[in-house]
Amino acid sequence: MNAHGALLTSLSTKNQLAGTAFVHLDGCLHATFRTKDFASALELVNRIGEVAEKLNHHPDVRLGYGTVSLVVTSHDAGGVTARDLDLAARVQQIADTLGATAGPVRPTRYDIAIDCTDEDAVRPFWRVALGYTEVAGDDGVELVDPGGLGPKVWFQHMEIARTDRNRIHLDVHVPNDDAEERVAAVLEVGGVLLTDEHAPDWWVLADVEGNELCICTTAF
């Protein structure tokens, strides 16, 4: 619990975000709006800024020609709370008033997982090679790009080293509503489903040469 209420999962916000431009993934609400030109996009940003100041809650905003993209989260709480839903609802009202329409937004997060028997021994290699920093995460000590651009690297402990498969795989985090469609698309282009025993949290797939990835929906 935090000052702004409990952290909300993507499943718990699904109904409230239905019909809006916002999508919940990885502890954030994402939205893109389209406007007729740069001036109207700038007006939308200015109006959003006014509301954000009144609420003392500020989204990350990206302005383009006829487009405005936002990421809303409660940084102090570490994810989405009721205040983010409130801001998103107000932003949606402003966009509707100005005639802005929802643009395509399908946020995705990519992580790199490395299987190993001794995380402490291999982690320094990857930290130095990538120029990353160590942080405490859900999967133990993780490596993150200090610039916030590169994928997170985490280490999956193996009691016995695996030699019959690749020991590095990708995790692709997508919104809940997109997961089954993404899995189907991967299978359509020749991917192989290795297991769906953990679905709808994640599916394990591989290309025709056995290189693996997971389609995941478990992130907040």
The C-alpha atoms of residue 13 and residue 73 are separated, in whole angstroms, by: 13
In the predicted model, is pLDDT for residue 203 greater than 60? Answer: yes
In the predicted model, is pLDDT for residue 116 greater than 60? Answer: yes
In the predicted model, is pLDDT for residue 1 greater than 50? Answer: no
Q: Classify strands 67-72 and 60-64 as parallel, antiparallel or unpaired.
A: antiparallel
Same fold, 22-102 and 111-216: no
What is the residue type of 32? T
Average the pLDDT over 134-150 and give the result: 87
Cα–Cα distances in Å, from 180 out to 35, 115, 200, 202, 203?
31, 26, 8, 10, 9
State the CATH architecture for 111-216: Roll (3.10)
Looking at 4-13, 96-105, 204-213, which range is the least confident one? 4-13
Average the pLDDT over 138-155 and give the result: 88
- What is the length of the chain? 220
User: 159 φ, ψ to 5°?
Assistant: -70, -35
Kindly report the pTM of this predicted structure.
0.72
The class that CATH gives domain 22-102 is alpha beta
Q: Percentage of residues in the chain with pLDDT exceeding 90?
A: 64
pLDDT classification of 4: cutoffs 50, 70, 90? low
Report the greatest alpha carbon distance in the chain.
60
| Among 28, 109, 31, 107, CA closest to 74 | 28
Per-residue b or e along 196-209, where b marks 16 or more CB atoms closer than 10 Å to that residue's CB: eeeeeebbbbbeee
Q: Could you tell me the two tokens for 100?
A: 């802005």
pLDDT classification of 2: cutoffs 50, 70, 90? very low
In the chain, where the domains are located: 22-102, 111-216
What is the residue type of 33? F
In the predicted model, is pLDDT for residue 54 greater than 60? Answer: yes
